[in-house]
Structure 1
């Protein structure tokens, strides 16, 4: 592997700053985590977007959340076909090995992945329609959600689709047998959230009221 290069200097400086402060102040806690393994209470499925900072939003400590990030915080339907399924593998591990009590799907405002799906479904993003587009094929997961908001006014559709990304993921989670079993046995609860990154607001999904502020 001759393409890798040393870490940029600014990241090295930040690491040394972290090790001299946060790590030194909590050394015993970090060593306990390393020795005893992880026992997170919740799994959070969030977007790759750099503006979404899950641990900051909830003030979480190391070892508290099992976090999986992907484009547009999507969960694909259960499909045990033996090919690569990073998100499905993360869900399986969280539920069957770690025994998390909660799975939280966290969507957010101004999501680029959701915008790509919107543009693709509206016929405005031919590049994403290509079979070779990884983003396009991943965003196919959200097409059922687009169909539910297709007839909304142009100004309202993008934000509604961001929330559909959360709902589609919750629906797809329930196609996994081990998720259904854990939910039925009251060992696991599912939660849908949407974060307005600019306003610092958080909404959660209520089956009776839709998305409402927390």
Structure 2
């Protein structure tokens, strides 16, 4: 849909320029419309570029894609994991994170190995608890917390399970993870906040009428 928007705006801009410059038709109107199309195109492009750069930066920091991002040290650790030496892989991942503290993925990988390869749910939960202490974007934090809730459920920790779900639903209420938490808790979705209404203008005060003087015959004055 965004491609169609770009194409439509570009076509409109071209038509306006052609009508104004070549056909000399309604130069003022077509010039204004062309300028409007150009401004909208520039705003859309700036927004899309900023979102793309932000997403690429986040992908680099969290190392989600794993293609052309992980360095050779991490690839060596993955080879150790493939060989089945899970404890050595965990040890190397901890050292890797100490060296590259922005690579939160290393901590997630440790938790994953504990959960899936060593079947140690308690250790995995402890790793996720440590991850949630890091400064993460709200969506990332929320989904890590949801995974920890699932571990609490498997560990038969209902108090921790419910407490964390409530925290997700209230402190991170605008995230998709919060919606999942509310579903698990059986909470209804919050109603959208009403838009503030402008106060009606105060009625204008009626102009004070001057006191009418009594009508007297000519030659008479009212008593002071």
**Shorter-chain TM-score category?**
under 0.3
Q: Whose RCO is larger (CA < 8 A, sep 6+)?
A: 1
The structure that has the greater radius of gyration is 2
Larger strand proportion of the pair: 1
Larger helix proportion of the pair: 2
**TM-score, reference length from structure 1:** 0.26
